[in-house]
Structure 1
Amino acid sequence: MTTFTLADLVRYMREAAGEDETSVLDGDISATTFGDLGYDSLALMETTSRIERELGVSLPEETMATAETPDQFVQVVNEQLSTSV
């Protein structure tokens, strides 16, 4: 089973938003809300879509909507990965 990490999420978020390495995603962002990071629902939908395509996992919108912070997002992805095996 693959484990999805915060570093993985940051990489996907940067790719989806087209951000460079010097963005607001540096440092410990695990408990910061996506809103405080400047990521709206559209940016998160693009991030989620990329993760689904690359990892071959289904991440239902209603499930992902419960994740308000990167740490929660990573937890939800890992839960979905463990059930898709």
Structure 2
Amino acid sequence: MSRATFTFDDLKRILLEGSGAPEEGGLEGEILDSEFTDIGYDSLALLETASRIERELGIDLDESVLGDATTPRALVDAVNDHIATAAA
């Protein structure tokens, strides 16, 4: 079930569903450009997040997405780029 856009709120919901609240940092405030590690999410949490995004949106993200998308803004942008490319 693909949709037109993936939002920061979608990402926050998926992060919380998959990993819960991080021990350090959090998802409140101006975190769009913060590194995931700085807000308490490690590589395993991001793998779970990517898996949930793929299932929810019915897409397959390239392996490089998680390596390149080190901030919430970058991940949201990468998912939206993938949605736009798939729709074209």
Asked whether the two chains share a fold, i.e. TM above 0.5, the reply is: yes
Aligned-pair identity (%): 47
Residue-by-residue CA offset, 1:17-73 (whole Å, 9 max, x unaligned): 1339xx710122101100101111100000000010010111112123100110001
Which portions of structure 1, spanning 4 or more consecutive aligned residues, are displaced by more than 6 angstroms?
none
* Paired amino acid for 1:74: V
Q: Distance in 1 between matches of 2:20 and 2:39?
A: 15
> Which residue in 1 is equivalent to 2:34?
32
> Which residue in 2 is equivalent to 1:79?
81
| Aligned CA-pair RMSD | 1.6
Q: Distance in 2 between matches of 1:68 and 1:19?
A: 18
> Which residue in 2 is equivalent to 1:10?
12
> Which residue in 1 is equivalent to 2:50?
48
> Which residue in 2 is equivalent to 1:64?
66
Q: Distance in 2 between matches of 1:61 and 1:37?
A: 22
Larger mean Cα displacement after TM superposition, 23-32 or 37-46:
23-32
Q: Distance in 1 between matches of 2:65 and 2:36?
A: 16
